[in-house]
Amino acid sequence: MVSSEGLTILKIGGSVITDKKADHGVVKINEIQRIAKEIVGFDGKLIIVHGAGSFGHPQAKRYALNEEFNVIGSVITHLSVKELCNIVVNVLNENGMCALGVHPMCCMLADNGRIKTMFLDQINCMLERGIVPVLHGDVVMDISVGTSVISGDQIVPYLAKHMKTNLLGIGSATEGVLDDKNSTIPVITSKNFDFVKKHIGGSENTDVTGGMLGKVKEMLDLSHNTSITSLIFDAGKPGNIERFLKGERIGTAIMHEQENCRF
């Protein structure tokens, strides 16, 4: 597997590594094992961000964390996503990686549901010393509303914007962003977004963070502000994560309309 001179950020959706239909944490351990085996040969700086799936969304919905502050619900939801992160990190390490969990609750501050600040120095130090930081969707303290649910899809573009990022991939449970004929849309830019967004739905399961449309909006904003191209692809298909890490273009590319895609 080729090495990346810059930073690679890989987001793995909660629907890929958990049973998102469950109303409590149900992990797909075989999928995590497979993903770990696809990642382990990568030679470069890598940040992994994973979704919460059934380890976070049901709890956040049960306590209506998107509507009002609830101290018990905030704690329970954080502990649930932390449990999933520990499972992911343990599997990665069992397969030969040096990975450590970085919990956003401990290093991030939000303002009205958007990331305000994040302490990145320790993540940079980890990358320089060969440690793979593993972040996840989480409940974080919010200066306006108490706590906020911050999705991995918001964390990924924040990291990409504030760090030197070479490859950015969003591994979901579909072959990219699909149109009304269930075909993959190859490229989304601000020019065609209004046309394609009517075909983009949310998650069919419990999701308090916006589903596929939320992913596209976050990545489109990133491309507009930085010209970074991101790929949304099927991480549930064996071999796709390895293909992404090799620099192949798969799934849907979300890019600035004036940027020539380098893939």
Using one digit for the tens of pLDDT, what is the confidence trace for 42-96? 999 999 999 999 998 899 999 999 999 999 999 999 999 999 999 999 999 999 9
Q: Domain 3-254 is classified in which CATH homologous superfamily? A: Acetylglutamate kinase-like (3.40.1160.10)
Q: Which of 203, 206, 187 is nearest to 195 (CA)?
A: 187
* Contact between residue 171 and residue 16 where contact means Cβ atoms under 8 Å apart: yes
CA pair distance 222, 218, nearest whole angstrom: 6
Structure confidence at residue 213 as a pLDDT band (50, 70, 90): confident
Helix (H) or strand (E) holding 8: strand 3-12
Q: Where are the domains of the chain?
A: 3-254
* Amino acid (1-letter code) at residue 218: E
- The residue to which tokens 């930085």 are assigned: 226
Average pLDDT over residues 162-173: 93
Residue 99, beta-bridge partner list:
132
Quick check: pTM over 0.85? yes
Mean pLDDT is lowest, of 84-88, 201-205, 215-219, for 201-205
